[in-house]
Structure 1
Amino acid sequence: MARAMTDAESISIPLEFMAKWMTQYKTWYHFVLESYRSRFEELLTTVDHIAFRNMDERLLFYLKGQKETLRSNKLYLSNTEIASDLNSSREVITRLMKKLADRHLIRLDRNYIEILSLEF
């Protein structure tokens, strides 16, 4: 599943081109392998976090990742969206976000979350 957080364009490459390009172009071959490797590392990190981390640690990691990905301290995400991404309930995320706001790590606004500092 993919969700665009900003305006984006996507392309779809037919499978027959993929096979041909893999043998014909070394750069394409390396790009595809690097993409698979990167996604696999993300999967392993996710499994590690689900199995061995508390939800507050997972939430901090998630917020840091969103900040880096979007290159912005303002995240236009609802607690429901975050809960869905972290396989948790909205109530748990809301409680943890309130704790982060009380510690002045984030500022909660009606339409966005502003990251002040995620280092503690």
Structure 2
Amino acid sequence: MMQKEWTTCFPFLNQMPDDERRRFLQSAVPHQLYAGEVVVREHSKCVGVVFVLSGELKVYKVSESGREVALYSVFPGEAALLTVNCMVAQETPVADVSLAAMQESLIAIIPSSAFFYLYSVSPQLQQFIFSCMYKKFNAIIDLVEKMTFKNVSERLYEYIRENTGSGRIPLYTTHAQLAARLGTSREVVTRCLKKMQRAGFLQTERGKISLLEKPEP
């Protein structure tokens, strides 16, 4: 990628000294991902820090029974913090969660040695990482609150409303993907969607959900 594209996506690069910015860009190894491609598997060794330039990645955990729970997303202009965490854990330098592409995405991986050097000398990179940590910590807190205090139907309706612009655009997803987002089973999501459709909240087609005006109680 061109330097301008990098600095547009990651403005902190504009504040770095020329030699540090040049080393960052020269170290970045680009990767084009297809939807569903796994970047980091749980218990695998991390080889670098992932920076997202386009698309969306998800950080998720898989239980022993095979149920997947999406913890949070990583969007363009952000770094995947799990790849930072597993590198700094010297005793067990492996990932404790997984990372995969939600859609076609462009990422770049900064190898461990280059990242550690740049992080040690660049306050701009340090501030960027702290900012990412703050946002994802809040995302985890939000997830815990929703899973603790709201039932699946409430969380499902809220997710659909947020991702359809309150009904302005359709949501293209599957029941399995929704289940992973909400930390429940596909069967539960299917039952909730059928109930909402019967109540007139939404309309479903294969891989597509359209939110309708919520009826008055």
TM-score in terms of structure 1 length: 0.76
Q: Residue 110 of structure 2: SS of its match in structure 1?
A: coil
Match of 2:178 among 78, 82, 89: 82
Q: Does 1:49 align with 2:146?
A: yes
Structure 1 residues 61 and 78: alpha-carbon distance in aligned structure 2, compared to 1, 3 A threshold:
same
* Residues 66, 75 of structure 1: 8 Å contact kept: yes
Q: Does 1:113 align with 2:209?
A: yes
Structure 1 residues 104 and 27: alpha-carbon distance in aligned structure 2, compared to 1, 3 A threshold:
farther
* Residues 64, 118 of structure 1: 8 Å contact kept: no
* Residues 200, 215 of structure 2: 8 Å contact kept: no
Distance 2:171 2:102 in 1: 9
TM-score in terms of structure 2 length: 0.46
Q: Could you say which structure has the larger radius of gyration?
A: 2
TM superposition shift of 1:99: 2.5
Aligned residues: CA RMSD: 2.6
Structure 1, unpaired ranges of 5+:
none
Distance 1:27 1:100 in 2: 47
Select the structure that is richer in helix: 1
TM superposition shift of 1:3: 4.0
TM superposition shift of 1:21: 2.2
After TM superposition, where is structure 1 displaced by more than 6 Å over at least 4 residues in a row?
A: none
Task: For residues 1-59 of structure 1, give each alpha carbon's deviation from its aligned partner in whole angstroms, at most 9, with x where no partner exists.
Answer: 34433321111112222222224333322211111111111111111111111111111
Q: Residue 10 of structure 1: SS of its match in structure 2?
A: strand
Q: Which residue of 1 aligns with 2:35?
A: none
The answer to which structure, 1 or 2, has the higher relative contact order (CA under 8 A, 6+ apart) is 2
Structure 2, unpaired ranges of 5+:
1-58, 60-98
Distance 1:119 1:12 in 2: 48
Q: Residue 30 of structure 1: SS of its match in structure 2?
A: helix
Q: Does 1:31 align with 2:132?
A: no
